[in-house]
């Protein structure tokens, strides 16, 4: 999803800084985006970042400001997307402290301190937009994912608090909560037999998984002028999964003739 978001922003003419712990993958993403830009006008750069390290965030923001200053007179940061995320599947009764800390550090602690570092830069340059990637699991819980669900619910709460505090600086803070998306994480669940496409379709009114590009569209909307009065919101991009329907519950609506409606 992070690549799709960066690709969409660059295609719209943005200068994108891709932050990643793995330099080879980061540079590979930059090369792929640059190769497809054509005449879009956007640009892409790589910044090495370990999201578990607060000082790394501070250094990364400083690098972004320095590099953007070479391209634009004002040299500022306009948009931050908190996208890094991990998941560890394990029954809650067996979850280790080490695994718990790993998930919470990356999925909740890192977005807070990255947002803090970005907001300090944005505050001095007229404002900006912050979008964090939450999850449908912030509302619709799945067994075996306790820290992940807790962290993503925390993202929604964090979004509201930061939006309230930073509106005075002209910083809009929102989140996007994807449902079941065609990502490596979901495909891993298929391979392990933890979930299936049939299960997903049965609880998703739109009856399919989303593409990564559709998540990117939601993120992009929240940083445009069309969303300038939107802040503190979590936008669920989940095909209606959060409506909470039971598996197969829409069969009656699709095929009422199969049911005896007089009883």
Name the packing angle between helices 146-166 and 110-123 (round to 10°): 20
DSSP state of 255: -
The burial class, CB within 10 Å (0-12 / 13-18 / 19+), for 15 is middle
Catalytic pick from 148, 169, 229, 252? 148
- Closest-CA residue to 17 (of 59, 52, 74): 59
Q: What is the DSSP string of 2-39?
A: HHHHHHHHHHTT-EEEEEES-HHHHHHHHHHHHHT-TT
**Catalytic annotation present for 148:** yes
Are 29 and 20 in contact by the 8 Å Cβ rule? The answer is yes
- Catalytic sites, residue numbers: 148
């Amino acid at each position: 999803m992070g690549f799709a978001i960066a690709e969409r922003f660059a295609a719209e003419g943005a200068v994108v800084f891709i932050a990643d712990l793995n330099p080879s993958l980061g540079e590979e993403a930059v090369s792929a985006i640059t190769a497809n830009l054509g005449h879009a006008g956007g640009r892409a750069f790589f910044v090495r970042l370990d999201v578990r390290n607060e000082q790394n965030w501070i250094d990364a923001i400083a690098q972004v400001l320095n590099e953007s200053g070479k391209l634009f007179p004002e040299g500022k940061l306009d948009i931050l997307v908190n996208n890094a995320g991990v998941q560890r599947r394990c029954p809650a009764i067996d979850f280790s402290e080490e695994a718990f800390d790993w998930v919470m550090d990356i999925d909740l602690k890192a977005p807070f301190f990255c947002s803090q570092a970005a907001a300090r830069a944005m505050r001095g340059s007229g404002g900006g937009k912050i979008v964090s990637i939450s999850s449908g699991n912030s509302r619709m819980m799945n067994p075996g994912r306790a820290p992940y669900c807790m962290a993503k619910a925390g993202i929604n709460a964090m979004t509201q608090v930061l939006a309230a505090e930073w509106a005075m600086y002209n910083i809009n803070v929102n989140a996007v909560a994807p449902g079941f998306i065609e990502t490596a994480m979901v495909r891993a669940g298929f391979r392990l037999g933890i979930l299936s496409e049939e299960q997903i379709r049965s609880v998703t009114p739109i009856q399919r998984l989303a593409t990564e590009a559709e998540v990117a569209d939601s993120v992009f909307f929240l940083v445009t002028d069309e969303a300038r009065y939107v802040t503190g919101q979590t936008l669920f991009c989940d095909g209606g999964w959060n409506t909470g329907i039971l598996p197969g519950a829409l069969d009656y609506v699709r095929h009422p003739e199969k049911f005896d409606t007089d009883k």
